[in-house]
Amino acid sequence: MTAVAVALVQVLVVALGGLLLTGLMAKVRARAEGRVGAPVTQPLRDVAKWLGRESPRATAGTALAIVPTVVVATTALAATLVPLAGVGLVDATGADALVVVFLLLTGSLALAVGGLATATAFGGMGASRAMTLSALAEPALLVAVAAFAVPAGSLSLPAMLGHALDQPLTMVSPSHVLAALALLVVVVAETGRMPVDNPSTHLELTMIHEAMTLEYGGRDQALVSLGAAMRLGLLLGMLGVLTVPWGLATSAAPLALLGGLALSALKATVLAVVIALAEVHSAKLRLFRVPELLAAAFVLAALAIVVGVVAR
Amino acid sequence: MALALLLAPLLAALVLAIVAPGPRATATSVAASGLVLAGGVALGARTAHGHVVQALGGAVRVDALSAVMVIVIGTVATLATAATGRVLGDVGAGPARRRAREYAILVQVFVAAMLGAVVAANLGVVWVMVEATTIATTFLVGHQRTRRAIEASWKYAVLCSVGIALAFAGLVLVYFASAHAGGGLRGATLDWSGLRALAPHLDPRVTRLGIALLTLGFGTKVGLAPLQSWLPDAHSQAPAPVSALMSGVLLTVALYAILRVKAIADVALGPGFVRGLLVVLGLASLAVAALMVIAQRDLKRLLAYSSIEHMGLIALAVAAGTPLALAAALLHVVGHGLVKSVLFLGAGEVHHAEATTTIADIRALLRRRAALGGVLAAGLVALAGLPPFSLFASEVAMFRAEIGAGLGWAAGVALALLVVVSTGLLRAGRQVLLGPGERAADRVPRRALAPLVAALGASAVLGVVAWPLATLLHGAAGALA
Amino acid sequence: MSGLAGALVDLAAVAVLVIGVAGLWRRDLRALVGLLRVQGLALALVAATTAASEHDLGLGVTAALVVVVKAGVVPTLLVRVARRDPGAREAAPLINVPSSLVLAAALVGLAVVVGAPLHALAPGRAAALAPLGLATVLVGYLLLVTRRRALSQVVGLLVIDNGVALTTFLLTAGVPLIVELGGTLDVLLVVVVLRALLGTMRAHLGDVSLDQLRELHD
């Protein structure tokens, strides 16, 4: 019962937190650039506003109609599996890291299909670019998560986090550091942040994610934006707990769980601010350099596994 | 006392820093090389029957094999230094003079490093010395400062450094294995005689990795394929005496290191492992040489590829590993050192006289420059492995020993490739030497050719009667088996 | 070896390898030399930590030598070359960067497989890490063969050398001091030699791109 409640709360927190983090990052950027910027709650208000509107659809295909729902649903399902509050709640086998990665992949695949279904030039271009990156980013994400799994010898997220909590020294091991770096790079690429994608641009030459979502409106637009925000929140949360698992509840006591969840949110917030600040100070990579960055992440993750296995 | 003579090149290097370039400097260089040769002969006399000369608290260790190498170094160094004046020409003043001085000093340092490599008791020191030869020769290869010379010396330095770094990794692994040797014998060592004693107790898996790296690493320096690509460039661009030293002895000094390593590996891993490696490397080298010699357009490159061929032949004999095969291989080392230095120095004279080494541009040397042409003709005949020269005797002995050691198939392949290379050599010889022509006005001085004739004579004598080297060579082979 | 010393050696050893891989990623020649300097420091850290925890004076001397030569003199010499043409970059590596990075990962795997017997012979933390040294050697080799710039090739050579040194420190706590001294001196000399060659190249050819060195062939 507690487990179901926690899972539902997690989805809510990821959704709300994701939207707020998106707003926060925009705000931090604005401040760092000397602007006032929109309020942090702006994405939340936008989504709420769009939710109440009808969805104009240019083409009659079913793909466009179901894509927003698929994006939100897969991300929400993934959000129930990542232990953001505590590690001792459910039987560990369900919360497999591979399942989480594949759910996220399904979401981005759906989005690309939607981009193609609009049959506009931008949608197709965005989908093509997104899939190119995805083909590199997903393996890297998989390997990076697997690298965290090496010390525990299990791909189950609660098991690996539990192991790290038991043996805090693994957190300064080279394998852990490398895996954390790799995951950071992948998360930046996955969430469509600079230096890979510039989330605040609508210039056709530079956008990736935005190009695929141009054709949505109303409720669809709301769901797609929500999905993207949830994805950001979830990945940052995952990065936070995998890198520094301290603070996660090990029992089912409600207070401990609440504390764990709050701490996870805090870690994600700190990461968001750091990434936003880093974005201000870095130029966007040219598109053909991006594969290099992701390949580097892949190599870091592979090294993390090798080192983890070798030095065990 | 004989060992003290081996310090002569170092002393000469010091003297050459003071004496101005010119006849007196050349005389110093030749004298130093002659002293090394004398020391080698004295050491050979003492070690031929299994005695081992040690010095400096065991850091220096000379057995018959080392003595053979010292003799070859001394001989080729004498030939090469005698030609110093011919290379540097009239040095005059200014930068040319400074470079002439550098050249003379570096040659002595180079010779000293090779001597250090063959008398050191510690494989680590052998490694350091072999690397030191790379450093000294890099400048010598690039001595002429032309675009091509610089390119050649760059390739040489980078590739040989990589090879030698691999060898160092191998050294570390062998050292590690010796530190963890089983059987109650514990003692981390790099001393090659100590390692041989320890060999039965070395962990085979680690040792195999180490030996493979050592063979490949030193093999680079020997010029064995697939890491031979530096050799034709370096040998063709270096000044003739340096080419003679590099081809005549430097390659075999690196081979000496492989011999020492093999002696350890044969006990630790059984004879099969290094044999397999060397058969592959040797046949590959022969194949590369055969391919490149056929259509070769440059005389010095031709000679360089022939060096790769001869190193391949020697590697095969070493792979066979019987005392007879090793003795034959060492005789081949001696013969190749003599003949190849004669030919490189001769090619230097050709370059001097004709201002080119492109085979197609040189004609009728036998008519136009009878003496030089004669030396080249005899040298090419010797290099092609024809009697009466010692390379013929050693090749026959090597093939027989290989067949006896069960490597008959490899010997067969090698023989076929050898025929191809020899045909290529003789064809180039015909092109350069024969044909109608007028006697050239300028003549190559007798003084320059006399040492070459003497060396060819020595090679012919060795081909007929292996005495007095036979005892020493068999002693050296015995020290390894 | 205490827990802290062990963790330090772990981190530094991995750093040596990761910096080697980073060399494949960077194109800026000066950044490449900077990486080399940091790699030298990491290497020295491995040696110094091992020396301190095993009270090995010889290895301590080696560590000091590594700092001076590999983190000090050698990069300084190279940086002077790099400084002469500011903004010099690797034009186009023979294999593009993503492929070479993935290849590097494969090489690391290979090194681990090949190096397995080392750990079997001497169970222990340091010997277990030794394959990372071999991996650094392979990565350096990859760097050397895929780069066209003369300076990058020197860096590749030195990465190979650092890999060998890392293997040495991890496996045997250093080979005999005399060999170590000779080896380090040789590295220094090789760099001096190559640098002199670079100078000559610049004087005679006007550039240090090896693309222009294509005259010698059959």
Task: Give the contacts of B110 (CB within 8 A, at least 6 positions apart).
Answer: B133, B136, B137, B140, B242, B245, B250
Sign (positive or negative) of CA dihedral C198, C81, C194, B20: positive
For B101, list phi and psi in degrees, rounded to 5.
-65, -45
Task: Give the contacts of A205 (CB within 8 A, at least 6 positions apart).
Answer: none
Task: Give the contacts of B437 (CB within 8 A, at least 6 positions apart).
Answer: B363, B364, B367, B368
Confidence of residue C174 (pLDDT cuts 50, 70, 90): low
Nearest to C213 among B154, B176, B190 (CB): B154
Task: Give the contacts of A85 (CB within 8 A, at least 6 positions apart).
Answer: A6, A9, A10, A248, A249, A257, A258, A260, A261, A264
Residue owning tokens 């949360």: A237
Alpha helices in B6-122 (DSSP H): 8-18, 23-47, 64-82, 84-88, 95-119
Decide: helix, strand or coil at residue B474: helix
Residue A122 has pLDDT above 80, yes or no: no
Nearest residue to A67 (alpha-carbon basis) of A235, A232, A223, A226: A223
Cα–Cα distances (Å) from C163 to B128, B163, C80, C136, in that order, read: 18, 14, 24, 5
Q: List chain C residues with CB under 8 Å of B124.
A: 175-176, 178-179, 182
User: CB–CB of A73/A110 below 8 Å?
Assistant: no
Q: What is the pTM of this model?
A: 0.85
Helix (H) / strand (E) element for C25: namely helix C3-25
CA–CA distance, A201 with A284 (Å, rounded to integer): 11
Contact B190 C179 (CB under 8 A): yes
Token digits of residue C128: 């277990």
* Residue numbers of B between 295 and 334 with CB closer than 8 Å to C: 295-296, 301
User: CB–CB of C139/C16 below 8 Å?
Assistant: no
Task: Point out which residues pair with C209 in neighbouring strands.
Answer: C149
Decide: helix, strand or coil at residue B388: coil
For an interface test with C, which of B99, B146, B161, B209 has the most C Cβ atoms less than 10 Å from its Cβ?
Answer: B161
Interface A-C, measured as beta-carbon pairs within 8 A, has a size of: 68
User: CB–CB of B65/B48 below 8 Å?
Assistant: no
User: CB–CB of B211/B204 below 8 Å?
Assistant: no
Token digits of residue A91: 């039987």
CA–CA distance, B248 with B78 (Å, rounded to integer): 12
Token digits of residue B227: 């890491």
Nearest residue to B334 (alpha-carbon basis) of B90, B67, B98: B67
CA–CA distance, B128 with B113 (Å, rounded to integer): 9
Q: Give me the mean pLDDT over the A186-209 stretch.
A: 63
CA–CA distance, C38 with A261 (Å, rounded to integer): 39
Nearest residue to A139 (alpha-carbon basis) of A185, A93, A170: A185
CA–CA distance, A204 with B449 (Å, rounded to integer): 78
Say how many C-beta atoms besides its own lie within 10 A of residue A33's C-beta.
9
Residue A35: predicted pLDDT: 86
Task: Identify the weakest region by mean pLDDT among A211-220, B302-311, B339-348, C208-217.
Answer: C208-217
Say how many C-beta atoms besides its own lie within 10 A of residue B203's C-beta.
22
Q: Give me the mean pLDDT over the C159-177 stretch.
A: 82
Contact C21 A306 (CB under 8 A): no
Question: What residue type is assigned to position B39 of the chain?
Answer: G
Question: Which ranges of chain B have pLDDT less than 50?
Answer: none
Task: Give the contacts of B177 (CB within 8 A, at least 6 positions apart).
Answer: B202, B203, B206, B207, B210, C121
CA–CA distance, C95 with B429 (Å, rounded to integer): 43
User: CB–CB of C37/C156 below 8 Å?
Assistant: no
Subunits adjacent to chain A (3 or more Cβ pairs under 8 Å): C
Residue B478: predicted pLDDT: 86
User: CB–CB of A211/A125 below 8 Å?
Assistant: yes
CA–CA distance, C79 with A81 (Å, rounded to integer): 51
Alpha helices in B223-322 (DSSP H): 230-237, 240-245, 251-269, 272-294, 299-320
Residue C167 has pLDDT above 60, yes or no: yes
CA–CA distance, A137 with A145 (Å, rounded to integer): 12
CA–CA distance, B106 with B140 (Å, rounded to integer): 7
To 10 degrees, the CA torsion angle through C127, C128, C131, C133?
-60
User: CB–CB of B113/B105 below 8 Å?
Assistant: no
Residue C11: predicted pLDDT: 85
- The interface predicted TM-score (ipTM) is 0.90
Our answer on whether A and B touch (3+ beta-carbon pairs < 8 Å) is no
Does A174 lie at the interface with C, CB-CB under 8 angstroms?
Answer: yes
Chain C residue with CA closest to B133: the answer is C186
* Residue numbers of B between 194 and 233 with CB closer than 8 Å to C: 203, 205-206, 209, 232-233
Contact C193 B175 (CB under 8 A): no
Q: Give me the mean pLDDT over the A54-80 stretch.
A: 81
Sign (positive or negative) of CA dihedral A198, A202, A205, A210: positive
Residue owning tokens 């360089």: B304
Residue A197: predicted pLDDT: 60
Residue A94: predicted pLDDT: 65
Does A48 lie at the interface with C, CB-CB under 8 angstroms?
Answer: no
Residue B41: predicted pLDDT: 93
Residue C122: predicted pLDDT: 79
Token digits of residue C2: 């205490």
* Residue numbers of B between 135 and 154 with CB closer than 8 Å to C: 135, 138-139, 142, 145-148, 150-154
Task: Identify the weakest region by mean pLDDT among A122-131, A197-206, B223-232, B262-271.
Answer: A197-206
CA–CA distance, C8 with C81 (Å, rounded to integer): 33
**Is residue B6 packed enough to be buried (19+ CB in 10 Å), middle (13-18) or exposed (0-12)?**
buried
Task: Give the contacts of A74 (CB within 8 A, at least 6 positions apart).
Answer: A103, A104, A106, A107, A110
Contact B206 C121 (CB under 8 A): yes
Confidence of residue C169 (pLDDT cuts 50, 70, 90): confident
Question: What residue type is assigned to position B277 of the chain?
Answer: L
* Gyration radius of chain A over CA positions: 19
User: CB–CB of A45/A63 below 8 Å?
Assistant: no
Residue C177: predicted pLDDT: 67
DSSP codes joined into one string, chain A: -HHHHHHHHHHHHHHHHHHHHHHHHHHHHHHHTT-----TTHHHHHHHHHHTS----SS--HHHHHHHHHHHHHHHHHHHHS-SSBSSSS-GGGSBHHHHHHHHHHHHHHHHHHHHHT--HHHHHHHHHHHHHHHHHHHHHHHHHHHHHHHHT--BHHHHHHHHHH-GGGGGSHHHHHHHHHHHHHHHHHTT-TTT--TT---TTT-SHHHHTTT--HHHHHHHHHHHHHHHHHHHHHHHHHH--TT-BSS--HHHHHHHHHHHHHHHHHHHHHHHHHHHTSPPPPGGGHHHHHHHHHHHHHHHHHHHHHT-
Residues A287-312: pLDDT tens digits?
Answer: 666 777 888 888 888 888 888 877 66
Q: List chain B residues with CB under 8 Å of C196.
A: 139
Residue A191 has pLDDT above 80, yes or no: no
How close, in Å, is residue B205 to chain C by CA atoms?
6
Nearest to B162 among C144, C182, C189 (CB): C144
Nearest to A299 among C10, C13, C21 (CB): C21
CA–CA distance, B285 with B246 (Å, rounded to integer): 17
For an interface test with A, which of C14, C19, C143 has the most A Cβ atoms less than 10 Å from its Cβ?
Answer: C14
- If you ran DSSP here, which 8-state letter would residue B436 be given? -
User: CB–CB of C56/C188 below 8 Å?
Assistant: no
Sign (positive or negative) of CA dihedral A126, A127, A131, A132: negative
Contact C183 B206 (CB under 8 A): no
Q: Where are the domains of chain C?
A: 3-212
Decide: helix, strand or coil at residue C89: strand
How close, in Å, is residue B176 to chain C by CA atoms?
6
Nearest residue to B334 (alpha-carbon basis) of B95, B51, B19, B74: B74
CA–CA distance, B137 with B91 (Å, rounded to integer): 21
What is the distance, to the nearest Å, from the Cα of residue A124 to the centroid of all Cα atoms in its chain?
23
